[in-house]
Amino acid sequence: MIRRLLVATALIGVLAAPAKACMRDRTPSKLVLVDQSLEKTKLKADKIAEVKALRTKASGLSMERKYREAESAADDALRILKVKWQEPQTSGPPTRC
């Protein structure tokens, strides 16, 4: 019985791995846009400090694999900067994801 349980657990892990590989974390590309926008911004110091705090929060959450929260914090930072993020356009043949 334990052997069947171990085999079933291993099988689930093997089958779930490709699906997990297709999960996309957009936070890093949004953080790059925040950094680029911070260099050019003419906001007040308190708004800049708020954006930097949100950027740090988003980075930390992304490291903790809390992707939705990280993306939300990055979106808030971009909203303050009044920058619109667009999904990168991919070219070439489609991937399996």
Q: Is residue 39 part of a domain?
A: yes
User: In this predicted structure, what is the pLDDT of residue 16?
Assistant: 58
Q: Is residue 90 part of a domain?
A: no
Give me the phi and psi of 95, to 5 degrees please. -90, 180
Structural domains of the chain, count: 1
Q: What is the pTM of this model?
A: 0.65
Q: Is residue 86 part of a domain?
A: no
Q: Is residue 36 part of a domain?
A: yes
Q: Is residue 40 part of a domain?
A: yes
Q: Is residue 51 part of a domain?
A: yes
Q: Is residue 9 part of a domain?
A: no
Domain that holds residue 52: 22-81
What are 33-66's pLDDT values in tens digits?
898 988 888 889 999 999 999 999 999 998 898 8
What are 59-71's pLDDT values in tens digits?
999 889 888 999 9
Q: How far apart are CA 56 and CA 3, in angstroms?
A: 45
